[in-house]
Amino acid sequence: MPTSMMPPIPEDSPMLCRAPRRKDEIPSSSSSGPQPEGLSDVVSDMFLSNKLSARDIARLARGGKHSEAKGVDSLAAAGASGRHPQNMARDIMRALLKKTKMPECTWFEVPCWDPATKDKTKYFLPFLLPHLVADQLFAGRSDWRMNPAKAPEIWNSFVQTCQTLNLDPDKCMPIGMHGDGVPFTKKQSLEIISWNVLGNPNNDRVPFTGISKAFCCKCACMGRCTWDTVMAIFAWSVKSLVAGQHPAVDHQGKLLPAELLSLARKPLAIQGVLCQIRGDLPFF
């Protein structure tokens, strides 16, 4: 859903939507040591890693521009070149996301719990849908392929699953889901669902969604009102990945937003199948 159509989110919303990191190409080098990075890459990484504030990043970029460094113009212009510091973080993030291949989040209404009123309610949560991520990030790539010799047990399970679904293992990407909680205050934790490509264990996990544990439904359902909806959305997206085409309706059979509906029934760049579900004991 585009920003202009985004539903209003309360300040205490349990949503999680961290910006994806931009991975620009680094010039190749014949040496075996660390590859050189431009100033733009360095300050971008520092900003996305929360190592420096937006004001510090903009100041470094303006200094780099004054010294005729390349690739920092958009960062140096943040906050009207320093005249409006309150807009620096927004402008820097927009500049960094211009070239990203990561799709935008899709927002779905999920049953949650309001800690303030102690009552069941609904919030819009952001989701990075696996079929959209796979379609945009893995088109034309082969690093998702699994090496049977490195993981024979997973490979055998993957092949059996593909045979059951009438899929070609050589053209299908095996993925695994991971559920875990991470503390973000002394007393609260964030429940995060992510997934990764099993063919390359070095690939980063891709976030699917996240929610504060305090916002998981507590209407005597043991959290099922929240998690059943979250899992239904994940299953719907993975089924689209198995089918190899963009869906026309969402997990509830409702029409998708216009920007996603325009893709309906178009083929995905790659097919995929869920082969693993991992997590800690509370998640299971």
| Mean pLDDT, the chain, integer | 85
- Residue 139 has a pLDDT of 82
Q: Calculate Rg over the CA atoms of the chain.
A: 21
Report the pLDDT averaged over residues 180-208.
88
Which has the minimum average pLDDT: 12-16, 196-200, 271-275? 12-16
At 45, list the tokens: 């990484």
- How much is the pLDDT for 24? 45
The per-residue pLDDT for range 53-76, each reduced to its tens digit, is 999 999 999 998 888 888 889 889
What is the pLDDT, as a whole number, of residue 1?
45
Q: Place 251 in a pLDDT band, splitting at 50, 70 and 90.
A: very high
Q: Count CA within 13 A, CB hemisphere, residue 120.
A: 13
Lowest mean pLDDT among 84-93, 94-103, 179-188: 94-103
- Condensed to tens digits (0 to 9), the pLDDT of residues 129-171 reads 999 999 998 888 888 888 888 888 889 989 999 999 999 998 8
The pLDDT-based confidence of 203 (bands split at 50, 70, 90) is: confident
150: phi then psi, degrees, rounded to nearest 5: -85, -25
Instruction: Using CA atoms of 88, 132, 140, 241 in order, give the dihedral in degrees to the nearest 10.
Output: 160
**β-pair type (172-183, 271-279):** parallel
What percentage of the chain has pLDDT greater than the value 90? 48
pLDDT of residue 199: 82
Q: What is the mean pLDDT of residues 211-236?
A: 94
Question: Does residue 284 surpass a pLDDT of 90?
Answer: no
Best CA proximity match to 145, nearest among 204, 203, 201, 200: 200
Question: Tell me: the pLDDT tens digits for 13-66?
Answer: 554 444 444 444 444 444 455 667 888 888 888 888 888 899 999 999 999 888
pLDDT of residue 248: 94
Q: What is the mean pLDDT of residues 173-178?
A: 94
What SS3 string covers the chain?
CCHHHCCCCCCCCCCCCCCCCCCCCCCCCCCCCCCCCCHHHHHHHHHHCCCCCHHHHHHHHHHHHHCCCCCCHHHHCHHHHCCCHHHHHHHHHHHHHCCCCCCCCEEEEEEEEECCCCEEEEEEEEECCHHHHHHHHCCCCCCCCCCCCCCHHHHHHHHHHHHHCCCCHHHEEEEEEEEEEEECCCCCEEEEEEEEECCCCCCCCEEEEEEEHHHCCCCCCCCHHHHHHHHHHHHHHHHHHHHCECCCECCCCCECCHHHHCCCCCECCCEEEEEEEEECCCCC
HSE (side-chain half, CA atoms, 13 Å) at 77? 7
pLDDT of residue 259: 86
Residue 162 has a pLDDT of 93
Length of the chain: 284
